[in-house]
């Protein structure tokens, strides 16, 4: 454990922001959760922060910007809110890690392209669907060219809060672009389904790819290795259906079970996003600490 940690702030004490705060508080090697801010004094996230001894405010992002010790801010609000927050954070010289699908900064997946973007002033964690599926598409793409990639993310309706529902359009657009930009598919498409089943289902992601060559053994090996890499920071990430081959098509399915820190275990869609944020934040903080000597 380092003797010193980088002070970080969180914008948005909803489900995602609160879960991330708890993860940083309990598991981060290089970050100290200094403050979490929102706009509702009755927020459960602010109450939990107070209980943990973490600074908190219901006066919005202004309270975070006033703290000159904050080096990294995680935005767990909405895509529309992040466009405004991004400009304020940039002006204050605070690195932004965006958990909304606003896509202001480069698209980042911890196991694919984080090394190229550690110095970016704004890092976009794409979407939960992208975090779950882009690694698999990218892995298949290391074996053969992917002409087309389509993903269907099915999540429990109960795990889709107001922010998720408000960002449905941005989710599909950003996820599709992530399949192309990070996953390296020539064309991408994304669909999200909110399933109201009781008891709530775990997050499941069906991944369809059209490939140039059916290198079966190599594709299976690449997918299995990628699943193990993602499991290092998302323990509930698993291969539900191994690659199925049909002409030029490869179909597989990923299931994500949440860690159950703050969110219920069926909320794997939210857990994979906060787990990615923790992994990326620690890497950025570690590099900042090295610069500080």
Query: What secondary structure does DSSP assign to 84-148, as a single string?
Result: HHHHHHHHHT-EEEE-STT--S-B--TTTTGGGSTT-SEEE---HHHHHHHHHHHHHHTTS-EEE
32-35, long-range: CB < 8 A, 24+ apart:
32/5, 32/6, 32/7, 32/8, 33/8, 33/9, 34/7, 34/8, 34/9, 34/67, 34/69, 34/70, 35/9, 35/10, 35/63, 35/64, 35/67, 35/70
Secondary structure in 3-state letters for 33-101: EEEEECCCCCCHHHHHHHHHCCEEECCCHHHHHHCCCCCEEEECCCHHHHHHHHHHHHHHCCEEEECCC
Instruction: Report the alpha-carbon distance of residue 273 to residue 205 in Å, rounded.
Output: 14
Catalytic residue among 128, 136, 181, 201: 128
Active site residue 128: yes
Instruction: Report the alpha-carbon distance of residue 26 to residue 236 in Å, rounded.
Output: 18
Q: Strand, coil or helix: what is 267? A: coil
CA 49 from chain centre, in angstroms, equals: 21
Task: Compute the residue count for the chain.
Answer: 293
Q: List active site positions.
A: 128
């Amino acid at each position: 454990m380092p003797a010193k940690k980088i002070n970080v702030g969180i914008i948005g004490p909803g489900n995602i922001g609160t879960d991330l705060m708890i993860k940083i508080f309990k598991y981060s090697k290089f970050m100290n959760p200094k403050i979490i801010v929102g706009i509702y004094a009755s927020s459960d996230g602010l109450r939990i922060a107070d209980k943990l001894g973490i600074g908190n405010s219901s006066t919005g992002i202004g309270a975070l910007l006033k703290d000159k010790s904050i080096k990294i801010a995680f935005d767990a609000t909405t895509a529309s809110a992040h466009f405004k927050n991004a400009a304020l954070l940039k002006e204050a010289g605070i690195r932004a890690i965006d958990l909304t699908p606003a896509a202001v900064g480069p698209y980042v997946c911890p196991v694919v392209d984080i090394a190229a973007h550690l110095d970016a002033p704004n890092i976009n964690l794409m979407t939960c669907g992208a975090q779950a599926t882009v690694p698999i598409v990218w892995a298949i793409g290391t074996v053969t060219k992917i002409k087309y990639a389509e993903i269907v993310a099915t999540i429990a309706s109960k795990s889709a809060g107001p922010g998720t529902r408000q960002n449905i359009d941005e989710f599909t657009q950003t996820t599709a672009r992530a399949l192309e930009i990070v996953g390296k598919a020539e064309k991408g498409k994304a669909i999200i389904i909110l399933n109201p089943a009781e008891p709530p289902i775990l997050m499941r992601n069906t991944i369809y790819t059209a490939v140039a060559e059916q290198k079966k053994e190599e594709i299976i090996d690449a997918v299995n290795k990628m699943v193990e890499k993602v499991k290092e920071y998302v323990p509930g990430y698993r291969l539900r259906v191994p690659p199925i081959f049909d002409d030029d098509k490869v179909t597989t399915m990923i299931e994500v079970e949440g860690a159950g820190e703050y969110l219920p275990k069926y909320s794997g869609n939210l857990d994979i996003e906060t787990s990615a944020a923790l992994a990326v934040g620690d890497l950025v903080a570690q590099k900042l600490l090295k610069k500080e000597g």
